[in-house]
Amino acid sequence: MAPIAMPVTHETADEAEAFVRAFGDFWSAPTPERFRALMHPEVHLVQPLAPDAHGIDEAVAWFTATQALLPDIRITVQRWGGTPEALFIEWTAHATFGGKPVSWDAVDRFRLERGLVRERVARFDALPLVVTILTRPAGWLHALRTRLGAPRRA
């Protein structure tokens, strides 16, 4: 079956551009509430190093776990292109793990529905990030507590 081409109109271009602005704004000061506001109730997220998230509750749980592991994570949009049916955003993430900075580049492919994320597939080479995590034992206890939901000690 051949893919369905969505014609690029002024309205679709505006919707894609508005979402890219909202995406960049969200990642400059991310919170679970702001994340939820970008997601369609039936969102599907696919990303390396984590199981797929189906539906808004699983998506918010994924985001919350990511933010707990990397509380200072910020993403900068490098470039983008596409339509609401196939929107690509290339970005760079910056965070701290084990007391040292870490960054990685990725590309997300989005499918929007009424301006909200219906589907997102993230693509990046996870190996450098995994190596960074494995070689920084100072971050392991925090990561373990984050994954197990253990309370943090002051």
Give the pLDDT of the chain (154 residues) as one tens digit per residue.
Answer: 555 444 555 566 799 999 999 999 999 999 999 999 999 999 999 999 899 999 999 999 999 989 988 889 999 999 999 999 999 999 999 999 888 899 999 999 999 999 999 999 999 998 888 888 888 877 777 776 666 553 343 4
Instruction: Specify the fold of 10-148.
Output: Nuclear Transport Factor 2; Chain: A, (3.10.450)
User: What is the C-alpha separation between 82 and 80, in angstroms, rounded?
Assistant: 7
What pLDDT score was predicted for residue 131?
85
In order of 43, 63, 65, 101, the CA distances from 36 in angstroms are 10, 9, 14, 27
Q: What is the pTM of this model?
A: 0.82
